[in-house]
Chain A
């Protein structure tokens, strides 16, 4: 028994969701998670603790650290 072909609307929604998943997560889930963590840390510093200077420094510094970790991870994968 063959399964019914999904409707045009379902395929469009599925395609849209897959596009955004590939666009934001793709093969670098660590960068997606890092961005969420960075936003959470900066929100904590700026909005909860009211430490503007710390938040302004943490945002670029954590982004550079995330990039470095992701590049190192790729290097590790290449070694295996």
Chain B
């Protein structure tokens, strides 16, 4: 029933925003958990609050401004950004899947953050270091989510739907992270990153074309064709790289 009531474009939008937000949330949560466990929760949570408040101000400022940009220019700029960002994510996912790049290890990042904070001097009741590290983690990862929500949501004229999808991902990963504490390494981050990369490049291709007045055969349905095409290309690239990886060392 639900599937028939929403268009394929809306479904792709929700999946793209949800997965991208979940990946960024896992990265932010790893930092916040490390700060909270190492130096106490008060300043860490204040840093999280300040990061979220700053992001909210940015959304409030950017959201209304972006809709005033001419639609073709908006499509071209957003399409270009999504194309670049999507290709970056896909490249990283292909390199990780083929063994050319080390997998993103949340446990290692958690431990690295803990080690860094442990040598950062004695803990105070109001801890500036905790605040700054938590703030930066939430703000920088959150900023990527904000950019994706605004670009994808505005282009598809579904900013509300994109925001709800992002918020759902943040809440679900937040609750799961709080329950399992530092078991975030169990999240299949590379598979999620690959899926998001495919969706972002598909959207990027579609909107870049729209911005340049390309008439797509099949209109909005072309988006699903792009998803299938890029999935096939990614799969082929992974297979090719795996075949060649034998005599290659891992890059950082």
Contacts and interface: CB of A to CB of B under 8 A. Distances in A.
Nearest to A25: B84
B80 A42 contact: no
B209 A77 contact: no
A67 B87 contact: yes
Nearest to B238: A71
Interface residues of B, number: 41
A66 B87 contact: yes
B229 to A, nearest CB: 6
A56 to B, nearest CB: 5
Given A63-B205, A75-B244, A55 B212 contact: yes
Contact of B250 (A32, A63, A78): A78
Interface string A33-52: 01110110011001100001
A71 B212 contact: no
A42 B210 CA distance: 11
A23 interface: yes
Contact of A74 (B81, B85, B100, B144): B100
Which residue, B88, B140, B144, has most C-beta atoms of chain A within 10 A?
A: B88
B123 to A, nearest CB: 27
Contacts of B251: 74, 77-78
Given A60-B229, A63-B87, A78-B100, A52 B205 contact: no
Which residue, B100, B147, B247, has most C-beta atoms of chain A within 10 A?
A: B100
Given A55-B212, A59-B205, A78-B100, A32 B84 contact: yes
A66 B147 CA distance: 23
Contact of A78 (B226, B229, B233, B249): B249
Given A39-B212, A47-B213, A59-B214, 13 more contacts: A23-B147, A31-B91, A32-B84, A42-B209, A42-B214, A56-B209, A56-B215, A60-B230, A67-B87, A67-B233, A74-B100, A75-B248, A79-B249
Interface in B215-232: 215-217, 226, 229-230
B237 A68 contact: yes
B252 to A, nearest CB: 10
A78 B84 CA distance: 22
Contacts of A47: 212-213
Contacts of A32: 84
